[in-house]
Amino acid sequence: MATVTYDKATRVYPGAETPAVDQLEIGIEDGEFLVLVGPSGCGKSTSLRMLAGLEDVNEGNIRIGDRDVTHLPPKDRDIAMVFQNYALYPHMSVADNMGFALKIAGVPKADIRKKVEDAAKILDLTQYLDRKPKALSGGQRQRVAMGRAIVREPQVFLMDEPLSNLDAKLRVQTRTQIAGLQRRLGITTVYVTHDQVEAMTMGDRVAVLKDGLLQQVDSPRHMYDRPANLFVAGFIGSPAMNLVEVPITDGGVKFGNSVVPVERDAVKAAADKGDKTVTVGVRPEHFDLVNGESGGDGDKKLSKGEHAGVPVTVNVVEELGADGYVYGTADIGGEKSDLVVRVSGRSVPEKGTTIHVVPRAGESHVFATSSGERLSD
């Protein structure tokens, strides 16, 4: 097993004006499961391929353990890669596919068979060892690709969107298997995905990239609770965080008819920059419904005739059983804003009606509108 270190690693493709990966700095612990996530073109696959030796590193270094592997060929890096498209040999049996790299390396047949059988047992593939890949489902083929990586006993697993060819239900099932398997084996793993739900459920830590730049690397929980900037706030979470530009006022920020208290330091930091507004982020589950409407555990009941909160016109309601999500439109500071609000699945509002919401105290995130950086602690 080994640590992995990106030390200001940069990749500039020939003819490109900007780097695909720019000064990437991440230290991955021995046995850690790190997920690289971001939108298409953010540099996550390039980062993985740089570690694999499939892309050149133009500046900086990459280390596996104490070895500088920046300019080593892939075969000398002691890594095993699992691809999106399985990359299995169609004419070989499952057992031969899993043991092929060992065969090429000159490992004795008996040793190969034992390693393949051990891996097949872990992956529940024992009964399929004599079959050809075409006789397997997509999920089984992906497990064969995993088995091929496992038998090599590498220092690092690299996985490039290995679940993207699977249907939704199988993806959920297989991601649980991969995460559990990695924890059993304890092999350092770098995993690339564009699916932030996959990233949050699988990784010990998550690294978010945008335009080749690392935005934040943190545990899933800490990243969800304290996104470093507007991009991470809008990218992490499903449904996404509501982000609304609001004016600064005495005691906090003006959110519709309500004044939402926010940290004094956050308001002062914005004012010091000359900003008259900040961008407030609120998760869908952190809105309270008011004026007697029912929506969840945080409902606030107000007396008759009392008007508070932001009126939200209900456009669409997604009913998910235990919860419902209201997709609506609100007038905040004279601007129309789309808001998503989580409500109780037992009492969802009708389409076309109006609900009143207010951000829950202490659950708002404040960002500088100009730079996008986080202002609140």
CATH number of the domain that residue 357 is part of? 2.40.50.140
Is the residue at 120 inside a domain? yes
User: How high is the mean pLDDT of the chain?
Assistant: 88
Is the residue at 373 inside a domain? no
Q: Residues 200, 294: one domain?
A: no
What CA–CA distances, in Å, run from 69 to 5, 30, 50, 101, 152? 10, 16, 10, 21, 19
Q: Report the C-alpha gap between 248 and 270 in whole angstroms.
A: 9
Q: Residues 84, 230: one domain?
A: yes
Q: Report the C-alpha gap between 358 and 309 in whole angstroms.
A: 5
Whether omega before 108 lies within 30 degrees of 0, making that bond cis, reads: no
pLDDT over 70 percentage in the chain? 95
Torsion angles phi and psi, residue 220, rounded to 5? -55, -45
Q: What is the pLDDT of residue 158?
A: 95
- When divided into structural domains, the chain yields a total of 2
47 pLDDT more than 60: yes
108-112, 165-169, 216-220, 322-326: range with lowest mean pLDDT? 165-169
Q: Residues 265, 214: one domain?
A: no
Instruction: Report which of 255, 242, 230, 258 is spatially closest to residue 340, judged by C-alpha positions.
Output: 242
What CA–CA distances, in Å, run from 98 to 118, 131, 144, 163? 11, 12, 7, 19
Q: Residues 45, 193: one domain?
A: yes
Q: What is the pTM of this model?
A: 0.88
What is the 8-class DSSP label of residue 25?
E
Which residue type occupies 279? T
Q: Report the C-alpha gap between 62 and 59 in whole angstroms.
A: 10
Mean pLDDT throughout 253-269?
Answer: 76
Q: Residues 30, 80: one domain?
A: yes
Q: Domain boundary residue among 198, 219, 235?
A: 235
Q: Domain boundary residue among 193, 215, 235?
A: 235
Q: Residues 270, 158: one domain?
A: no
Q: Residues 112, 191: one domain?
A: yes
Q: Report the C-alpha gap between 345 and 251 in whole angstroms.
A: 34
Q: Residues 64, 107: one domain?
A: yes
Q: Domain boundary residue among 235, 263, 291?
A: 235
DSSP per-residue letters across 215-252: EEEE-HHHHHHS-SBHHHHHHSSSSPPEEEEEEEETTE
Is the residue at 289 inside a domain? yes
What CA–CA distances, in Å, run from 86 to 4, 18, 29, 126? 24, 31, 27, 18
Is the residue at 375 inside a domain? no
228 pLDDT more than 70: yes
Cβ burial of 243 (10 Å; 0-12, 13-18, 19+) is: middle
Instruction: Report which of 6, 28, 38 is spatially closest to residue 208, judged by C-alpha positions.
Output: 38
Q: Residues 193, 274: one domain?
A: no
pLDDT over 90 percentage in the chain? 58
pLDDT digits (tens, 9 = 90+) for 141-195: 988 998 999 998 899 999 999 888 888 888 888 888 889 889 988 999 999 999 9
Is the residue at 315 inside a domain? yes
Mean pLDDT throughout 17-28?
Answer: 95
Q: What is the pLDDT of residue 308?
A: 67
Cβ burial of 107 (10 Å; 0-12, 13-18, 19+) is: middle
Nearby residues of 108 by Cβ (< 8 Å), 6 or more positions away? none
Q: What is the pLDDT of residue 293?
A: 53
Is the residue at 377 inside a domain? no
The CATH number covering residue 178 comes to: 3.40.50.300
Q: Indicate the pLDDT class of residue 303, thresholds 50, 70 and 90.
A: very low
305 pLDDT more than 50: no
Is the residue at 317 inside a domain? yes
Q: Residues 227, 280: one domain?
A: no
Is the residue at 332 inside a domain? yes
Q: Residues 195, 288: one domain?
A: no
Q: Residues 155, 19: one domain?
A: yes
Both tokens of 75, joined, read 């075969």
Q: What is the pLDDT of residue 375?
A: 86
Determine the structural domain holding residue 305 and report its residue range.
242-368
